[in-house]
Structure 1
């Protein structure tokens, strides 16, 4: 049986994980510190030659747990700074795995640089120990990362909404009070445009521009217009089935075919395209309520 990796799944845009967001980094770092410290004290996973220790084993474990926590905090704090500086909102599983791999290497190098502080060994600065520290960090880090991800999934699932299981596409649109063809005013008059609102799947913000994704039969059409998402949203208030599901996305609720995720965020799928649109964690409850409201209007 050939080995297969779903690269599309790795490259699909997802919500930036809360555990890496600046406001949660201290909490994430403390959890990493405590789990590693308890693990080192309980299992003593790597061979330790007591005469080489410069201090009590507890303090060595303390420093070995503190270093990854500090590296994690500094690494993602720096990453968040540059993401904010470049106004980047996209995130994928592939980017996360690459970041975690780089993080493991940094932690391994940090552990190597601490050796002279912890051990009386003449070979502390050898290439062999550098390789060993990085290797040990990658091996232990992979299992540690999987453990944290499974733990996170368990607790999020316990808090998660059962709404996902109950979701059904909205098949019948309520009676419209305005004609489908809509004229949109932009900041520059010559950029004004007409829009067939029934063809619109979703809208993505890109600074002072928006990217319209429309479906015309079997054809997907993408257009860029010079208008902000908020300005565009204010001009389609007569069409209540458009919902601001994310800071950068506006979605046509009648085009959504599938919802996946949990209380930490949803991903919306469409029949016409493989692109998935995120619903931010803050908008999950609003999305649920809005869906139920639209559904009640559609059911005779």
Structure 2
């Protein structure tokens, strides 16, 4: 927890909000995450009754009220973060501040949804009053932000400590050129744009939708090529070259170009030869990255 204490005391809170943080709301994880949230919320409301309950106003059983108050917020959060995930071009840009901002927006939407739901489940002439409008939004923030302000800093501290320690164990050695004389014909979506690639000359590939930007060593210079091919297609064509690895949904790296590996809460950051930008390694790919680096440097 020393890292967390440092951010909240020695450094401005604004600096903490700018720190990298993993984006959990991917297409594969969202439904699992919000199913768990739904179950926890439903059971918590059902058994602990955290807010005042006037059962004389209920139009349906308390069981179904708890179900609706857990199910609908989970659906709202799932849809919202699915849209966020769709428009997020790089997970590497996600920060603690963005996490808190988007969760706050979701809590606001949930508060409004709870207010609109009142007339369906409560027999109260004041359902459409400003009092209940602000009360529902307040309750959503009280529950949501209380949990968030505990979980996010704690999770951030654990991830930061874990990834820094793990990154320090990665050893970058002299390049090990596998298949040194190999050349690969890269098939693109435009047949006339196909080209030959010497894998050992490749530094990194950055994805931009259906296009990929190649950074390649050429004598004493680095050249850039923009080709119409997705990173997924390129990864499949280069599967015979273990030194080439997709480290992030937007990046494919020649591991022989890695000169330094550092850790943060979002995963790893790689420094590459003759490439100014830091390249991310997603948190979920770290074990595979560590294993591949170990095998190349054996």
Query: Shorter-normalised TM-score: what interval?
Result: 0.5 to 0.7
Residue pairs, 1:63-102, within 5 angstroms: 63=65, 65-79=66-80, 82=83, 90-91=90-91, 92-93=94-95, 95-102=98-105
Q: Equivalents in 2 of 1:274, 1:8: separation in Å?
A: 22
The 5 Å alignment of 1:135-214 reads 135-149=138-152, 164=166, 166-175=168-177, 177-179=179-181, 184-187=185-188, 188=190, 190-193=192-195, 200-213=202-215
TM-score (norm 2): 0.67
Query: Residue 3 and residue 82 in structure 1: after superposition, are their counterparts in 2 closer, same or farther (change >3 A)?
Result: closer
Q: Counterparts in 2 of 1:215-230, with a 5 A limit?
A: 223-230=225-232
2:110 equivalent in structure 1: 107
1-structure distance, mates of 2:222, 2:130? 55
| Cα distance, 1:192 vs structure 2 | 3.7
Shift of 1:29: 1.5
Superposed displacement of residue 293, structure 1: 0.9
Distance 1:246 1:111 in 2: 38
The corresponding residue for 1:22 is: 31
How far did 1:14 drift? Answer: 4.5
Question: TM-score normalized by structure 1?
Answer: 0.67
| Corresponding residue of 1:267 | 268
Structure-2 separation of matches of 1:154 and 1:32: 25
Distance in 1 (CA, whole Å) between partners of 2:136 and 2:201 is 56
Which one of 29, 34, 56 corresponds to residue 43 of structure 2? 34
SS at match of 2:204: strand
Deviation at 1:172, TM superposition (A): 1.0
Cα deviation code 1:180-219 (max 9, x no counterpart): 9x67543445424466756644323445421235689xx9
Q: Secondary structure at 2:214's aligned position in 1? A: strand
Cα 1:113–1:233 change in 2 (3 A) is closer
Structure 1 residues 73 and 221: alpha-carbon distance in aligned structure 2, compared to 1, 3 A threshold: farther
Q: What is the CA deviation profile of residues 228-268 of structure 1, one whole-angstrom value per residue up to 9, with x for unaligned ones?
A: 43553455567532113345532222344224368xx8333
Which of residues 243, 246, 257 is equivalent to 1:244?
Answer: 246
Deviation, structure 1 residue 90: 3.8
Q: 1:124-135 to 2 correspondence within 5 Å? A: 124-135=127-138
Listed as ranges, the gaps of 5+ residues in structure 1 are none
In the alignment, the residues of structure 2 paired with residue 261 and residue 38 of structure 1 have an alpha-carbon distance, to the nearest angstrom, of: 39
Distance across 1 between alignment mates of 2:69 and 2:137: 12
Change in Cα spacing, 1:23 to 1:173, as seen in structure 2 (3 Å) is: same
The total of aligned residue pairs comes to: 279
